[in-house]
Amino acid sequence: MADADKLVKQTHALDRDCTTLSRHVLQQLQSFSAEAQDLSALMGRIALAAKLVSRRLSRAGLVEGVLGFTGDVNVQGESVKRMDVYANEVFISVFKQSGLVCRLASEEMDKPYYIPENCPIGRYTLLYDPIDGSSNIDSNLNIGSIFSIRQQEGTDENGEAKDLLQHGRKQLAAGYILYGPSTMLVYSIGNGVHSFTLDPSLGEFILSTENIQIPEHGSIYSVNEGNFWQWDESIRDYIRYVHRHEGYTARYGGALVGDFHRILFEGGVFLYPGTLKNPDGKLRLLYETAPLAFLVEQAGGRASTGTEEILDVVPEKLHTRTPVIIGSKEDVELVESFIQDRTREQTESLTAPS
C-alpha cells in the first residue's frame, strides 16, 4: 500500500478513535444547544456507569462478594444477585453527580429514586434495568443493562411523576450495554441506531457501527420453548409453523439484551408472550421493552405486544409488563398473523348462528 494510502487509512482510524460517545451525540444533533449538551453529558454518564459495571464483571470470578445472591427478593419477586445491587447503585451514584437527572426508576427499586436538587423542570428521568439477564452472571454468560431517558415533567396531584406513565414515543434516548466478549453500547437519540465498543486500553467507548439497519427478515426465532405448555394457542401455531418449515433456526440465551442484539444485527424475531403464570408476559415495559422498541423502530424493525405497537402502550404502573414480539418487520408480522387468525376464528365462532 502506497504511503499516501497508509496515511489516509491511519488518519481515518485516528478520526474514528476520536469519535467518543459524547462527541457522537453532538454530531448527531448538529448542535451545541443546552439540550444537545445535556444529552451528550447524559450519554457520557451512561458510558461511565457501563465502564464501572464492566470492570467489576471482568474480575467477578477473582473478587469475593461479586457473584451469588444477596438473599433478598426484589419488587419483581425475583431473587436479587449481588451484581444487581452493585449495578443499581452505580447508576444512582453516577447520575446523582451528573446534576441532570431528577429521578431514576429501576427494575430493582419499588419506587423511583428522587434527587430533589436536580428537579427543576427541564431536567431528565432515567429508567433502567441495571443488570438484565442476571441468571447468566454466575455462569459467565452475556448480560446487559438497558436504559431510557425521558424529559422530566414534574409531578401530578398525587405527587406521582407525570413523565413515567406515558407511552414510549416520549423517550428522548434509549439503548443498552452488552457485557459480552467485548463490552458494547448501542444507543439512539432518534437519529438512527449506533454501536460503540469499549476499548479497555483507552477506557473509552469508540464508534464501531453507525446507522444499524435490521434485516427485513432473518432465520432466527428466539423464545423460551419451555413455556410452550403455558402459551395461547396462537403462539403454539406459530411455533408449529417454524418447526415444520425450512429456513428457521432457534437461538435463546436467556438474557434479553444478548438475544435482542443478535436479532438487531442478523434479523429474525424475539418473543416473550404472555403465559399462564404471567398473562402479560415477564418483561417490563418502561425499562426493558420500550427502550428496545425505540431502538428497533429506529433500525427499521417493529415491536408489538401482538395486538399493538409497544411504543404506543401507556403503562398503568411503574413495573407494568407486556408481551413482546420484536425484530424484523416480516418476522414480527408472521407471529401477529397467527394471533389475528385465532382472534378471527374466536370471533366467528361467537357470532356464528347456533
Residues engaged in binding ligand P6P (CB under 6 A):
132-133, 135, 224, 254-256, 282
Shortest distance, CB of residue 89 to ligand P6P, whole angstroms? 19
Shortest distance, CB of residue 319 to ligand P6P, whole angstroms? 12
Shortest distance, CB of residue 92 to ligand P6P, whole angstroms? 20
DSSP string covering 22-80, please?
A: HHHHHHHHT--SHHHHHHHHHHHHHHHHHHHHHHHHHTTTTSTTSSSEEEEE-TTSPEE
Nearer to ligand P6P, 255 or 296 (CB): 255
Shortest distance, CB of residue 303 to ligand P6P, whole angstroms? 14
Nearer to ligand P6P, 177 or 256 (CB): 256
Nearer to ligand P6P, 65 or 226 (CB): 226
Given the DSSP bridges, would you call strands 124-132 and 143-151 parallel, antiparallel or unpaired? antiparallel
Record the cell numbers describing residue 245, joined without a space.
418449515
Nearer to ligand P6P, 102 or 263 (CB): 263
Bridge partners, 272 (sequence order): 324
Shortest distance, CB of residue 275 to ligand P6P, whole angstroms? 8
Burial 233-270 (b: 16+ CB within 10 A, else e): ebbebbbeebeeeeebeebbbebbbbbbbbbbbbbbbb
Q: Which residues contact 273 (CB under 8 A, 6 or more apart)?
A: 223, 227, 231, 232, 235, 281, 306, 323, 325
Nearer to ligand P6P, 192 or 254 (CB): 254
